[in-house]
Every structure is written in structure tokens, then in C-alpha cells.
Chains A and B, each alone.
Chain A
């Protein structure tokens, strides 16, 4: 068992390395970056945007004295550019206003080194873009020392941003898990024990609905229900005057708000577990050991729950492990529509906005959770199935 865990743990660093490297590459190779949208806003000058990029290490500003040495001269569209000793931009040997040369020098590469991107801003500042390899190495170096960086959109340490949202998402997901598993297992077992009974058919219908109804649709439907009946709040995690309530009122308030979104998440995953459970149960119930147990005179209840269930549950335990991995990112649409201040929305928005430090951290986090979820499932399996322990 111990070597098994060690092996799992040892496979973790290479896995994280590959995942983070791929993510970083994809982020860098797709067009635009977090600050690109500011460039399209008339309110912000290019110099300002480059200043922001410098502050997060996307670009490096080249000092005036080093320009002539670092860049030398280069040709764009038959214009020869170079730098004076003071670092001023020259065109064909004479000084020129960088603002008017923006069409050519805003982003350019030197003929000798096509991998390196340079920029000269409207005010004549020269910037060297940090390539993805160097960027990754810098990021990796920081992560090794435990620094995940500062989120660009939240302007706060990534760890803080994630931790303050983590609990909100966990609350939602744990309630959803309880709803999903709490319903799926008994219903699955029941319909597996009595295949083709009325209950089995009813469960089947529910499963089809759960499988075929997209989460977004279900969420909106739930919101409309809340709006038209007034039984539940229309989204949110708390009432607006939550802080002014007493302890029990706060608890009730939180519970009242969590029911709808958690039910939606639970309902969308209920079918998988229920159908899986039913299939396994049906198979187990028709196996030889069940017949033997019956023949020995063991009670039907004991046969079902001790003999059949323990054999049937293995795949479900594995699925439970996987569901842990999806814990943090799986509820994006529900969080969005129910206006839940959770982590999934933050990390998904980070991907859209290309907030690199936050994306990288959340990818690392998800990978860790996936591995942890699998290990947890293995432990559970070992507990419920002695055969696995023996191996």
C-alpha cells in the first residue's frame, strides 16, 4: 500500500510539469494577452499598457543606453531604423518621432532572431517581450519557492483570491454531492434489485431527464421558478442584509440560498451514478454467490446489502474519486447563473481574460485535486474490497 502511494506521489511532479507547461504554451501562443483589451480602449495609451505589462514581467523595458547595443539597426518596409547613443529612435540616420512610426515599430522582430518580439511605444520607450520559455522558467522558479504570483485582474495574490472563494464553492459542491449520492445510491440499488418494477421505470425516466437537460437550462428554469413562486431567492449566496441577522437566521438564510443551485448540480449528475449503480446491482444480483447465499437461507436484505452491494460498489467509488477532481471547476455555469461567488467562475473568467498567474494556479490546483481524488478513491476501494488490499 505504501509503495503504491509513493509511486503515485512520484508521478505527480512530472504530471504537474507537463500540464503547467502545456497550459502556459497555449496561453502564450493564442492571440492577445490580458492587457490586449486595454489597447483597444481609447482611454488607455500604448505606453500605459506597456507600463502595466512591464509591471507583471510580460515585457522588459530596455534602458536608453542599451538600445543601440541590444537592437542595433533593423529594416522594416525599406526603412532603416537605429538608435542614437542616447537611445532616441533614428530613421535612415536622422531622428524621428516614434509616434508617427507606430505602424512599423509597434511590434517587430529583428531579421537575425525571429523568435524575439520588440515594441517601441508612442513615447519612444523600447520593450523586449518575454518569450514563453523564459516566462515559464520565471513562473516555475517562483512556484518552487511557494509564490504563485499576483492575479492580474484581481490585483491580489493568487492564493488569497483562490482561498477566499474556495470555501464558497466547496459548500455548494458538498451539498450537491450529498444530494446526488444520497439519492443515486439508494435509488440505484433499489431499481437494481427490482429491475423492471414501477420504481425502476420511474428512476429511468428521471435519469433520462437528468442526462438530457443541460445544466444551463435547468439553472435558468430553477431561477424562473424562484422568481414566479417566491419560494426561493433568485440566485445569490446570502441575502443583502445577511450580516445584520442573528446566528440562526444567518444559517437559515444560507440554507435557503444553497438549496436550488446545489439541487441543480446534484440533479445533473444523479443519472450517471444511479444508472451505474443499477447496472452493477443487476449484474451482482444474478451472480452465483448471490444464488448460493440465497440457497444458504441468508435473508434477502442481507444478500442485497452485504453480498451484492459490496461487490457492485467498486466502480462507483472510482467515480466518486473523479467527482472530487471536478469539484472546483464543474459548477461554472451554475455559479454564473445563480450568482454564486465561487471559485469556478473566478478561474473560468481568468481563462477568458488570460489572467496568466490565476489560470496557471487553478490548473495546478485541479491537477492536484485529480490526483488526490484518485488516491482517495483507491483508499476507499481498499477499504470496501479486501481483494484490492491483498494486491
Chain B
């Protein structure tokens, strides 16, 4: 399972990767505030330079009492490197560049050495981050490409990149970006405002180049923003509508050399669609710290420092430190685990909860660190289908008597009371996770908000069900409704994920204890996907949401809006079905158009409470997130956000210089 990307959470890498969508919450960009919020408790935003964990909040539940106390990783500040070491001298392969203003990263290090990452995957589809549909390819693109602003996974907020400064007009419609002077692409050509405008207008906004980055810029029916170069180092972007996540959307657009690609974006079938294919690493030209020198199919991608790299540390050292980065592709997660434990590579993200004991045992040998990153932002939920629609044959999608239960708030609350989430976490995850009551776990530093919890109380569940007129029971102890239908439904999940199979089996037991029968129907992810999307005839479903970076609620619009494609219990509503959904929709649209963090946080808290009252989606648990890295690597600043261990790759250096 590769946590921070939404997938059916399959263990073997060869099973269909389920992208069920990234939801997740919080914008870092804007979350540099800390306000008193009427609703519930909010964890202070990450307003710190280094990856600092949120203070462990004592779990209100007794979730992990039985197991060893897990601690959230403390910031690991390496001692500064010895500047008298000959290896601290800037290597000759760096070409002289004069960047104004300089980057000034807060780190020191020694040059040389190879840092290896172990990625779960078989292949990469393309080196072009704009046209790639794979999370791994997009994450790796940060080594080679820069964007106007980038995202600091340590501090959870936007930080300057190619643009060292930006201003926004009071109406939030005009953004002025000031670019650094003296930046060059890895082929030596200067990077100017012309390239920035080209990258936006000719590649990302080009209707003939299919890409998903452009979708972020589409706000309602408003036309796309326009980018204009004022001079060589100033770009003005004019938006037609307020876009609260404008900076994040900009950080999805890699800046590419216009001179190299200007012919490739023309015509009906632009060559740019297939540019920078995996077989053509020499085409991959960016301003990032590294450049690709080799791709061995199914084996590895090798990177070397970009000689024109413009990033510098405060002490004047040119970044990156490591002389080589090797991204190793490993097809199977078990193999990846064994290879890491055998010392096969340095950095490993997304360690599965089931592998925790193996890692923590081996950690005692002292040559690597297991990073306990806190609660994952990936959440598992249970939902009932409330779709009142008809099939093409004119039959109801859900049997009317069942639909009546599912649409009844009391029924969903009763299910909540019947499910012992703590027991679930204990049995399924060995206690390495936590019960959750909303899609925003408390590890979500900027957006978590406490909501009403319908805790485990079978008596309350029974009372609610009795109150619905389902008091009568048959000989098996299953409740019957007034017309004599057994209170029974199909419970689906994707069969590729062994953990979810265990979850539905547990849920069946919990529900049976209050006289409700769940018939387990695991299905292939393709089938689940068809059901959610098209057929809508499923009855109950257990699935999960992954998270995006930044974890802003707006990245989950498809899930939260009543017209959303992934609004699971009743997707793509022509108009909000329930009053509370009307309210919820307007909260989302307010979030959309309100860039003020002070105002956005309470709005999101309100949404979470609305959703918790309704329990249209019953959030069950989030697992703990783990990553590991070898101690020979310095400047490690693991983050809960993906990629955990190597988001600051330009700062990483090796102690032994190998």
C-alpha cells in the first residue's frame, strides 16, 4: 500500500492501483495563522522552520493503550558539517552563476556521495510532470523542475522558488511574481519571464495538451488566468475569479525552456504530449537541483547535479550536496522491505503498518532510523448508498425499503454506535492507528477540528433502531422492518486490499450484535469503480481517501460538493438533495473564494461538524505513518506529507561520502 496516494491500498504492486481520489485537508499556503476558532479545538498550524511535530494529543480513546506507546518523530536536527573538511569545498562541476537574490537554505553539508531512494513501482510513464498520471513520476519531477513557488513539506506552507517574492492585489485577482535573476536551465540557457509565460500559456493552458494541472485554474465558468511578462524578471498573472489556492495551482506547473519546446506545442497534435518520454532523459531540461543522466527500464533512474543549479545555502555552499541520486524502482513491497533491511538503499517512504515490528526490531542495530510520523492523512470510511435515482430500465437503484433505512439519520447513527472503532484499530492495525470521526485526522495540523463523536454504545444503537420501527427480530436475531424485510444489506470493498477485507468482516460482527446483517461482497477495484461511478447500485461500501499535497480541503472538492463525482453516498446531485448539503456546498464555495486563512479554518470546522452530524460517510480509522532512512544520510527532515524522507533532497548529504 502506498499511503499518501489514494489507491485501493493494495499490497502487491501489480494489482490495479486504485486511485480513489485524494481528499485531505489544509492549505499550508494560507495556514500561517493561528486563530481562536469557535468550533472545537484546532491544533496550531505549523509555523516553524523545521519539521516540527504537533504536540501529541492524548487520544480520548483508549486505542493504543494495549500496544507500546508510539511517539511522533521529534525534529531531527543534524549537527552542522565541519566546514574545514576538504569535502565542504564547492566541487568544480558547478558552473559559476550569479543568482539574485540567493536562495539561502538553512543547512550545511559535505559534497559527494550517492543517496538512493527505494520507490514502489515498476516503471515511470514519462519525465514530463505536466502529462504524467503517476504520483511517483510527479514527485520525482521536483528533482529536475522548478515552479514559481514550491511547497515546504517541513513547514507545511508555500515557499519561494523561482519567484523570490510575490504580491497580490487587494481584490486577489492580480498576482505579481518577481523572478530571481541569473537562473539558468540545465542546458545553460537563461531562465526568464518569457519561459514562465510560455510554460503557463503554451503548455499548461494549451487545449491540445491534455493535463490535469489546468483543472485547478478553472474556477466555475470563469476564463483561465492570463500570464504576462512585464520585463525579464516580472510576471503578472490576472485571474478572472478569486482562486484561494492560486499559489498551489501555480506550483503544479513546471517551468520549461521556451526555446527548446516552442515548436513542440504547436499544431493539432503537439509533440509536447509525448516529449520527455522515459526513453529520452536528455530532453528533460529544468532549473532544478538535478538532471537525469540515466533511466534503466524497470531498474532505476540516476540523477546528477545540475551544473547550473542556482540554489545555495546561507553559508554560500552551492546545492545539492549529493553527487548522485539513484531512484530505485522496486516492484513488490515485500522485496522493497527486505532490500531496505539488507541495506540496499537509503530512504524508504510509506512503510506499511504490518511491517512495523520488523523495522522497529531491526532499528535497534542502529544503522537506520524508523520515523514515526504520526497519524496518516489517509482515512478509511464506510458509507451507505442514498442515491434515489432510477436505473436506465426505470427501476430504483436501491430497493425502496433499504433506501428508507439508509436515508434515515437514525440508522447511520445506530451503525456508528454499533461499531467499536478502537477495537477495529486494535484488531486490524495492531493498535497502530487511531479511530477518527471526520475525514480530517488530528495529524492534519492546519485543518483538524473536533467534531461530535458517536462512540461505541450498542445500547444506543439498539434504541435508535427500535425507534425506527425495526424492533421485531427473526429467528436468527436479525431485525425485520414493518413489511417483514430483514435488515440486511451488501457490504462491498475492494478485494485487492487484505486490510479492508478484515475491516468488513469485523463490521459484520459489530452489526450482527445489534441485529443488522451485512453480507460481505468484496469485488475487484474495477467493479467498485464502476459501481461508484456509473451503476450506483451498491448498498454499503468500505473504501478510503488519500491525501494530496498541500492537504487543503479544496483538494477534496469532488468529494465534498454535492455535485462532485466522488460524493459517494449520492454523487453528482443536480441540486443539493438535503438542506445540509446546500449549506455544505456554500461553505465549500466560500472556501474556494476566500484566500484569508483566518476565515477559512472556522469554515472548514463548520463543514466537518455538519458532516459529522449527518454521518453520510462514517469515518472509521487512520493508520500510523512510518518512513525509514539510513543514519549515514544527514539533513533528514522527514514529513508526514508525501514524499516523507526526500522532499528536501538538495540538502541531503552522506556522512561517508559514498
Contacts and interface: CB of A to CB of B under 8 A. Distances in A.
Contacts of A153: 123, 125
A48 B298 contact: no
Nearest to B543: A40
B509 to A, nearest CB: 29
Interface in A93-138: 99-103, 106-109
B557 A42 contact: yes
A200 B224 CA distance: 78
Contacts of B20: 40-41
Given A40-B529, A345-B298, 14 more contacts: A37-B529, A42-B556, A103-B574, A108-B392, A165-B297, A168-B298, A223-B338, A235-B339, A339-B329, A339-B330, A341-B296, A345-B122, A349-B122, A352-B14
Contacts of B527: 31-32
Closest 3 interchain pairs by CB?
A: A341-B298, A32-B526, A41-B19
A207 to B, nearest CB: 28
B574 A101 contact: yes
A30 B523 CA distance: 13
A197 B326 CA distance: 54
Contacts of A236: 299, 339, 344
Interface of A: 30-32, 36-46, 48, 51-52, 55, 76-77, 99-103, 106-109, 153-156, 160, 164-165, 168, 220, 223-224, 226-227, 230, 233-238, 240-241, 243, 335-342, 345-346, 348-349, 352-354
A45 B334 contact: no
B277 interface: yes
B258 interface: no
A55 B210 contact: yes
5 contacts: A234-B342, A336-B331, A337-B335, A340-B298, A353-B17
A240 B574 contact: no
Contact of B18 (A37, A107, A155): A37
B299 A36 contact: no
A346 B572 contact: no
Contacts of B15: 352
Interface in B564-599: 565-566, 571-575
A107 B558 CA distance: 18
B125 A154 contact: yes
A165 B489 CA distance: 47
B22 A42 contact: yes
Given A227-B338, A345-B122, A346-B123, A339 B278 contact: no
Interface string B366-378: 0000000000000
B436 interface: no
B534 A107 contact: yes
Given A36-B526, A234-B344, A345-B14, A339 B332 contact: yes
A236 B335 CA distance: 10
Given A42-B23, A99-B563, A103-B571, A155 B274 contact: yes
Given A42-B557, A48-B210, A346-B123, A227 B342 contact: yes
A158 to B, nearest CB: 13
A153 B277 CA distance: 12
Contact of A165 (B215, B298, B572): B298
Q: B212, B555, B558: which has the most chain A beta carbons within 10 Å? A: B212
B468 interface: no
Contact of B19 (A38, A45, A102, A106): A38
Contacts of A154: 123, 125, 278
B490 to A, nearest CB: 17
B64 interface: no
A47 to B, nearest CB: 8
A55 B208 CA distance: 10
B335 A76 contact: no
Contacts of B17: 37, 353
B559 interface: yes
A100 B574 contact: yes
Contact of B332 (A106, A238, A336): A336
A238 B299 contact: yes
A156 B300 CA distance: 18
B566 A42 contact: yes
A221 to B, nearest CB: 12
A44 B18 CA distance: 13
Contacts of B131: 155
Interface residues of B, number: 77
Given A102-B572, A341-B298, A346-B298, A39 B278 contact: no
B299 A345 contact: no
Given A103-B389, A103-B572, A40 B125 contact: no
Interface string B153-175: 00000000000000000000000
B218 to A, nearest CB: 8
Nearest to A36: B529
B566 A40 contact: yes
Q: A30, A154, A223, A230: which has the most chain B beta carbons within 10 Å? A: A154
B622 interface: no
B12 interface: yes
A238 B533 CA distance: 43
B449 interface: no
A165 B328 CA distance: 17
Q: A43, A237, A354: which has the most chain B beta carbons within 10 Å? A: A43
A55 B22 contact: no
Contacts of B457: none
A348 B13 CA distance: 11
B389 A352 contact: no
Q: A102, A223, A226, A234: which has the most chain B beta carbons within 10 Å? A: A234
Contacts of B278: 154-156
A32 B530 contact: yes
Interface in B1-46: 6, 12-23
Nearest to A107: B534
B150 interface: no
Contacts of B533: 36, 39-40, 106
Given A109-B392, A346-B123, A51 B279 contact: no
B126 interface: yes
Contacts of A43: 19, 21-22, 212, 215, 548, 555
B568 to A, nearest CB: 11
Contacts of B345: 240
Nearest to A168: B298
A337 B297 contact: no
Contacts of A234: 335, 338-339, 342, 344
Contacts of A226: 342
Contacts of A335: 331
A109 B555 CA distance: 32
A338 B16 CA distance: 20
B294 interface: yes
Nearest to A351: B14
Contact of A46 (B12, B125, B389, B565): B565
Interface string B327-360: 0111110110011011011000000000000000
A153 B126 CA distance: 9
B525 A155 contact: no
B234 interface: no
A352 B390 CA distance: 31
Contacts of B300: 240
A55 B525 CA distance: 24
A320 B69 CA distance: 58
Given A43-B21, A240-B326, A348-B14, A48 B211 contact: yes
Contacts of A101: 574
B19 A341 contact: no
Contacts of B14: 336, 345, 348-349, 352
A39 B212 contact: no
A104 B601 CA distance: 35
Contacts of B299: 236-238, 341
Contacts of A39: 529, 533, 565
Given A155-B278, A336-B331, A345-B122, A42 B21 contact: yes
B532 interface: yes
Contacts of B192: none
